[in-house]
Chains A and B, each alone.
Chain A
Amino acid sequence: MAQARSRKRRIGMQIAEHATGITASILFLAPIAWTVLSAFKPAQEARQPPLPPWPTSGISLENYATLNTFGDGLWLPAQNSIYVSVMTVVLSVIVSVLAGYGFSRFRFPLKNLLFVVILSTIMIPFQSILTPIFLVLTKIGLHNTLTGLVCVYVTLQLPFSIFMMRNAFDAVPREIEEAARMDGANNVTMLLRVMLPLVWPGIVTIALFAFLGAWNEFLAALVLMTDQSKFTLPIMMTALQSGRFGAIDWGAVQAGVTVMMVPCLVLFLLLQRFYIRGLMAGAVK
């Protein structure tokens, strides 16, 4: 009797816990779902308050079409965003794999100083050095270019990604390297053939953070990209939302926000464990 009652109470507790969990999940997911669903409404309906959030008069891509009529269209800023993000990923992976390997496996003068200097840049907010960055880019001819923006983003990623990669290389046992060296591998083949396959989880992690960082960055892109044809998605969408292209079309805003969110969400869902890994590595230090 008593046992049955305590089991009943346990089941009651479980139901209460899951009810809490599901309510909280809905609260966190609702704004995202609301936008993605509303974006599929016909333009007329999208201007009305989103009640209910889903399209009631048929699914339509009108909002995406409208979005495409503002400024330089949707495709150009999307292309800019893709270019900047992919280049940031490629460059920051190359630079921090090399640096991580260098800091992990070689002894050279000023090594510790250089490592500490690179890591400590994370303490200094880049927001406070944007003006000189603007002037430096002008000086070296990268003013108002996507490549210049990529250089800035890669630099901002370096403290985290070099720290990650140095730790990843540190975790590879020296014996593996020595065996490969016996077989006649030189430094470059060693890095590419022997080490890379062993540190790839670290590479996926830093690539993911680099992508999300570059794709979502706002202030530097706002300041450094003055030419409308160089706008990334966040800048273009803010211009649209501020009414720079005439009356604000909220349907187009929903469509634009969806385009900006979906790549992040998909990448995160696919690579979740690498993301959490990165956070843990940062948290544990």
Chain B
Amino acid sequence: MTTITTTIAPARPRKLVGAGRRQWIGLLYVAPAVALVVVFFIVPLCMTAWMSLHNWPLMGTHSFIGLDNYWAILRDTRFWNALKFTGYYTVVVTIAIFAVAFPLALFIERPRQLTGFYRTSFFMPAVIGFASASLLWSWLLNVDSGLFSPAAFDLGLTEKKFNLLATFQPAFWSIIAMVVWKVAGFTMIILMTGLQSIPPDLQEAAMIDGAGPFARFRAITLPLMRRTLALALILSVAGSILAFDQFYIILRGGPRNQTLTAVYWIFNQSFVSFKLGYGAALSMVLLVILVALSLIQLRLLRQHEGVD
């Protein structure tokens, strides 16, 4: 708790002259929020950096080992495999989400009967949690009591019940299907806000000039939506890089540890093997990757604003 007082104390001006009193009160209003962020975010963040330089078991004393954890990461092929898999998953799932969400956004953007119903139903899976969705799909994907394998078998599509979760390819694509089902509605709404911000007379003018739907999409819709597209992309990429729930709940990292994501590997090192220092060093690597990505994307966003 000492951290809170020391961080806030210098911010309080002693001299309370005139409007100064009101200023002091303003600080009081934001104090609870600042305290929470300091204790549960800033301090842990600094501790991650500090711990990454230590050999830090759960029990017993920790010892300073300099950059040894980071050297160990360089040789940790399983971490690099996890990172590679995370990257692969991120690219595939982002493309899949956009491929579904963009047509849906175009579909619900035009006002017609039942639009409200369609929008709500596409969006419904987005409000249930990733854990609930993963549990739900782990049942649907189950080989004996689930839906897909028995249904394919009953329809005569497969000779015997096919276990979707036993080998990498079907397991991976099952997860992609589940995530697209869960997230497409969310991306759709973001894209819809971008579509709605395009002035309709622009489209009409282009139509009068004889531009076909594809030409209009390329020349008007896409360029005017760049900001929204970039935002939807940031959300999708950041969310996918941090993927954990679905791989933990549905696949437990399997088959044969092929679907361990970066966060999953950090979780294993920190909370299964209890190598807290090493886990912290891994976290730092992930953190640097994500912050770098966010900064690049923010810069892109700003540039697009300039173009618009």
Find B245's partner among A50, A95, A219, A269 (CB 8 Å cutoff). Answer: A219
Contacts of A34 in B (CB 8 A): 140, 147
List B residues at the A interface (Cβ < 8 Å).
1, 11, 13, 19, 22-30, 32-34, 36-37, 39-45, 47-48, 51, 104, 107, 112-114, 117-118, 120-125, 127-132, 135-140, 142, 144-147, 150-151, 154, 181, 185-186, 189-190, 193-194, 228, 231, 238, 242, 244-245, 248-249, 252, 263, 266-267, 270-271, 276, 279-280, 283-284, 286-287, 290-291, 294
Specify the chain A residue showing the minimal Cβ separation from B291: A123
The B interface, classified by DSSP as helix, strand, loop or mixed, is helix
Q: Is the CB of A272 closer than 8 A to any CB of chain B?
A: yes
Taking each of A131, A216, A269, A276, which has the highest tally of chain B beta carbons within 10 Å of its own beta carbon?
Answer: A131
Within the complex, the shortest CB–CB distance from A14 to chain B, in Å, comes to 8
CB-defined A-B contacts under 8 Å, sample of 5: A31-B137, A49-B147, A98-B32, A128-B48, A279-B186
- Complex-state Cα separation, A28 to B188, whole angstroms: 13
A102 near B30 with CB under 8 A, answer yes
A129 and B283 contact, Cβ closer than 8 Å, known pairs A265-B128, A283-B231: yes
**Chain A interface residue count, Cβ-Cβ cutoff 8 angstroms:** 91
> B288 to chain A: closest CB distance in Å?
10
Chain A residues whose CB sits within 8 angstroms of the CB of B137 once the complex forms? 31
Residues of A248-280 whose CB lies within 8 A of B: 250, 253-254, 256-257, 260-261, 264-265, 267-269, 272, 275-276, 279-280
Chain B residue at minimum C-beta to C-beta distance from A152:
B40
In angstroms, Cα B114 to Cα A18, docked, is: 8
Minimum CB–CB distance from B2 to chain A (whole Å) comes to: 11
Cβ-defined partner of A51 (8 Å) among B127, B150, B238: B150
Verify if A42 is at the interface (C-beta below 8 Å from B): no
Check A125/B290 contact, CB under 8 A, given A21-B118, A31-B140. Answer: yes
When the two chains form their complex, are residues A241 and B249 in contact, meaning their CB atoms are under 8 A apart?
yes
Chain B neighbourhood of A124, CB < 8 A:
41, 45, 287, 290-291
The smallest C-beta distance from A264 to any residue of chain B, in angstroms, reads 5
Q: Are A128 and B129 neighbours in the complex by a CB distance under 8 Å?
A: no
Residue A234 interfacial (CB < 8 Å): yes
In the complex the two chains form, is A24's CB within 8 Å of B104's CB? yes
CA distance A106 to B22 in the complex (A): 7
Q: How far is the CA of A260 from the CA of B45 in the complex (A)?
A: 32
Partner of B40, one of A131, A133, A234: A133
Supposing A131-B270, A253-B135, A265-B127 touch, asked if A151 and B36 sit within 8 A by C-beta, the answer is yes
List residues of chain A with CB within 8 A of the CB of B238: 125
Could you say which residues of chain A place their CB within 8 Å of the CB of B287?
A: 124-125, 128
Instruction: Output the nearest chain B residue to A215 by Cβ-Cβ distance.
Output: B129
Whether the pair B122, A24 counts as a contact (CB closer than 8 A) is yes
Shortest distance from the beta carbon of A1 to any chain B beta carbon, whole Å: 26
Supposing A121-B37, A269-B120 touch, asked if A250 and B139 sit within 8 A by C-beta, the answer is yes
Partner of A102, one of B29, B113, B123: B29
Q: Please determine whether A118 and B228 come into contact, CB atoms closer than 8 angstroms.
A: no
A187–B33 CA distance with the chains assembled, in angstroms: 19
Set of chain B residues within 8 Å of A187, measured between Cβ atoms: 25
B193:A283 contact, CB within 8 angstroms: yes
Instruction: List chain B residues, Cβ under 8 A from A136.
Output: 39-40, 43-44, 47
Q: Is the CB of A219 within 8 A of B139?
A: no
* Residue of chain B at shortest CB distance from A161: B33
A20 to B112, CA, bound (A): 13
- Shortest beta-carbon distance from B55 to chain A in Å: 14
Expressed in whole angstroms, the Cα–Cα distance for A133 and B294 within the complex equals 23
